[in-house]
Amino acid sequence: MEFACGFVYVPPSVTQRDANRSNPTKLSALLPVNRWRPRHPPPPLPTKSAEAKAPTKSQFYVTVAENPDKAVVKKALLPPHMKNRSPPSSRFTHNLPDETDLKERPSDPSYSYATPEGLRVDMKRPEVSAPFWEPEYLTLLSGPSSDASLASPSAGKEPLPGNPNVLLVSLQKLLSEETGQTTQGEPTFCSTCGAVTDPCYDNVINDCYFCQPSTPSTPRCPQDVLYLLRPDEEALCAADGLLLFCIDTSGSMSIPSQVTEGGQVVHKTRLQFVLEAVLRCVQRLSEQQPDIRLGLVTFNSQVTMHGNENFASQSLSSAELNNCDFLREEAAGFPTPPPLSQNKDYFQRQVMGLRHGGTTALGPAALLTIEIASRQPGSKVILCTDGKANTELGDLELEDNDARTLLSSTIFYQDLGDYAASRGVTVSVLSIEGTDCRLDELGRLAERTGGTVVVASPKRLHSEFEEIIENRMIATHCTVTLLLPRSLHVRGEKEAGPKGTREVGNVDPDTEITFQFGAREQDAAAPAVGNRVFIQLQIRYRQRKGQTMLRVITTSRDVTDDSSAALSTLSLAIIQLNSSQASAALAVRGRLLDARKEGEVQRKLIEKAMEHNHSAEDHQYQEWIKTMEPIYGQKDDITRNVTF
């Protein structure tokens, strides 16, 4: 696996948020707490200190019996916060002002006077408060000569516009690499998160790095290990899968298209272009792969499963096309196509004899074709159509009348894709340019099974067929799981959390998937800058021989909030691939606004990285912009119009 960035990037805003959360109450070093600040000066001191010290016996402790004619006066002690802590040399002496009668209303109601115990006597208070000291606090104002760069954050602390935390998983590379000795049997999994870890004792996990709220320690996980999960499982013969063409022969396929061949303008129907492309593929396969098994299913108002010289073709129509169980039974009873070397001539005659007309029973045809292909893992289905399915099962035209009735068709194609993926069947959808066949629904079949969705001009149908056929299957039933610490989460998945699972299904040499991840925004604290986080990747798949394997890779990355460091190590190719995949996945579901937003944000990140690194990859960037053009400027060609 490859990372787009050499670090795990955490935006400065997230780290600042966590710092504020960890220290919610901060006391100023200058301003004291209000309840400890004296609001008024201490009472004045006597001017004749020598006379006050003359009596050998303090007058404040003379009882009334000893001196009945003299009033009893007690010394009022100052509270601690009002005592003068300065040395005697710098002690401030208050001057006594003129005194007034105590019976008058005091000017400061908050100043309290205590009456001494003993005889009731009149007391004098100061009319005007004596001078006192208060701390002065200065505010520094920036002058015209101040450096503007000091007030703004440095370039390295500015948050990046997009997300550089992208992981690329090249399945062909990972599944074909030799990892040394293979470990037989199931590894030890964490019962909470499913992480593979090395137990302290047999089948006992002391603690799991990926389950802990704070993960300061290094996890006890295998770095790179390949497991043979079922050692007792017998290996099967690695036979090539079936290749089935599912071709639309409805009335809309009679629409002509104008092309130039040999300098002359030629008009051909859509069906003619498709049949010519299929015949050219048959000829090439007969020369390069004579043992491959080809099958043909066509659909209009009825669905026809084309046989061979030893088995006649079979057609289904009317109510038969609305019963899924009946269709599965009919497909199960249909024979497996023979090798092309034995059936080439008959297959070519079947193709050349096709005629257009009728409605589009796409749903039943797709179900029958996938059911036949499911007999052999690694089989391929190429579905070629130019319009919406408009029969009861899998109808895609119901939305024009009632959007609520579309739900059953959506569920039908989603379940069909799940079934095909579970049986190791790849479904690719090929549509003719300028038509509307609701790729947002049919694309679920391709996405779920690891196939492709292609919108091609009539002249390019043959090359698109060839490209789909050449991608040979290297593994089936593939599931990729990404495990992160609890301080991070996987973005773009159905359930945002520290664990992301991708059901890939079938794997060909070009299969590459990407993950986006980042710091959690609310629940958990972001990983600390400078720390190291560990990431685990699990790839479970089935080899063509039928053996179930599990590869576990655990790696680590340093955490940074420095955008300059992240941009310096950024791989533009991985960012572009992730943006294309994420935007296309959103667009094919009809979420065009989200798709454009995703593409725009990552485009800004790419432009910032090119500017920072003075990159010379402008040509590569322009090619990526062309790839994203259907999402940016031609949205009506890839999704239906939605009326609110």
Query: Domain boundaries in the chain?
Result: 242-470
Mean pLDDT by 10 residues, the chain (644 residues): 91 66 52 56 67 50 51 58 54 50 52 48 51 50 44 64 93 76 86 79 64 70 86 69 92 86 83 93 92 94 92 90 92 92 93 90 92 90 83 68 66 89 90 75 82 86 90 87 92 80 86 90 77 93 87 92 91 91 80 88 90 67 64 47 34
Nearest to 427 by CA among 242, 239, 171, 172: 242
pLDDT of residue 72: 54
Pairing of strands 426-432, 475-483: unpaired
CATH class given for the domain over 242-470: alpha beta
Specify the amino acid at residue 408.
S
| Helix or strand run (H / E) with residue 349 | helix 340-352
DSSP code of residue 308: B
- How far is it, in rounded angstroms, from Cα 380 to Cα 246? 11
pLDDT of residue 437: 66
- How far is it, in rounded angstroms, from Cα 134 to Cα 539? 71
- How far is it, in rounded angstroms, from Cα 213 to Cα 498? 11
106: alpha, beta or left? (left if phi > 0; alpha if psi -120 to 50): beta
pLDDT of residue 643: 32
- How far is it, in rounded angstroms, from Cα 514 to Cα 508? 16
Token pair belonging to 188 = 């030890």
Nearest to 21 by CA among 528, 574, 623: 528
Expressed in angstroms, the distance from the first to the final Cα of the chain is 43
Token pair belonging to 530 = 């400078």
Token pair belonging to 212 = 């802990």
Cβ contact 486:515 at 8 Å: no
pLDDT of residue 158: 84
Q: Which pTM value belongs to this model?
A: 0.67
Specify the amino acid at residue 159.
P
> What's the Rg (C-alpha) of the chain?
41
- How far is it, in rounded angstroms, from Cα 570 to Cα 332? 52
Reduced 3-state DSSP string for 74-122: CCCCCCHHHCCCCCHHHCCCCCCCCEECCCCCCCCCCCCCCCCCCCCCC
